[in-house]
Amino acid sequence: MPTLRTVMDRAPRYGLLLACILVELMFSPLFATSAIGVHLGRVLGGGMLVAAFFAVGIGRVGVALFALAVALQLAAMLWGMPGLGPAVSLSRLPFLCYVLGLIVWRVLRDRDVTWDTVAGAACAYVVLGIVWGDVYQLVQYWRPGSFEIPDSFLLGPERDPRAAIMYFSFVTLTTVGYGVIHPNDPGVGGLCMAEAICGQLYLAIMISRMVGLHIATRS
């Protein structure tokens, strides 16, 4: 009988993770205008963490980081976000960095380009944007006013900036640069430049590698 680890290794894990991430990113801001919607958005965020844990497999480090992130996510759902916001972002950050590192390592290790490999490369890119978003949120908690955020981007009765900062992260990662939200000092601007550089280097390196592997296997 196959073990749980074997089943997880054979499953199309990255496609599921990519779908969960996109659902969480797209629908959480839509629900955040009401108290029930805020809780539903947190449920989607927890589901994304579960999908990320499933994608990287079972390991002691992953279990410990996952347990901490989920515990604080549940605490935020039960007792509210204002006091637990920094702790939630701080607990998610090491777990998502762990997930990002494992996905990139496994994708680069693969010698055959499959649909799940492509989904894994896409997951790593999207998780990279989420990681930077959590970094920006911690900066905003530590130094309020680090970002210029329009009032229309602050959601719910708590005027939550999380969705706005995550939006800014992906705008920066993809170098779209709408300019609606922007940093207020050179220090935060340096972080933004680093994210833009990482995003472009990742695309250039990963796409060239996957195209090269695909051509090599076809020849």
State how far the Cα of 35 lies from the Cα of 42, in Å rounded to an integer: 11
Spell out a b/e string for 20-46, using b for 16 or more CB atoms within 10 Å of the CB, else e: bbeebbeebbebbeeeebbbbbbbbbb
List the chain domain ranges: 4-218
pTM: 0.85
Q: What DSSP string runs through 154-176?
A: -BTTTTB-HHHHHHHHHHHHTT-
Digits of tens for pLDDT over the chain (219 positions)? 444 444 444 456 788 889 989 988 888 887 766 667 667 777 888 888 888 888 887 678 888 888 888 887 777 666 655 566 677 788 888 999 999 999 999 888 877 777 888 888 999 999 999 999 999 999 998 888 899 999 888 877 677 788 899 999 999 999 888 888 999 988 899 999 999 999 999 999 888 888 887 677 665
Cβ contacts of 58 within 8 Å, gap of 6 or more? 4, 5, 8
DSSP 143: S
Q: How far apart are CA 188 and CA 57, in angstroms?
A: 34
> CA-based angle 87:168:161, to the nearest 5?
45
CATH class of the domain comprising 4-218: mainly alpha
80, containing H or E segment: none
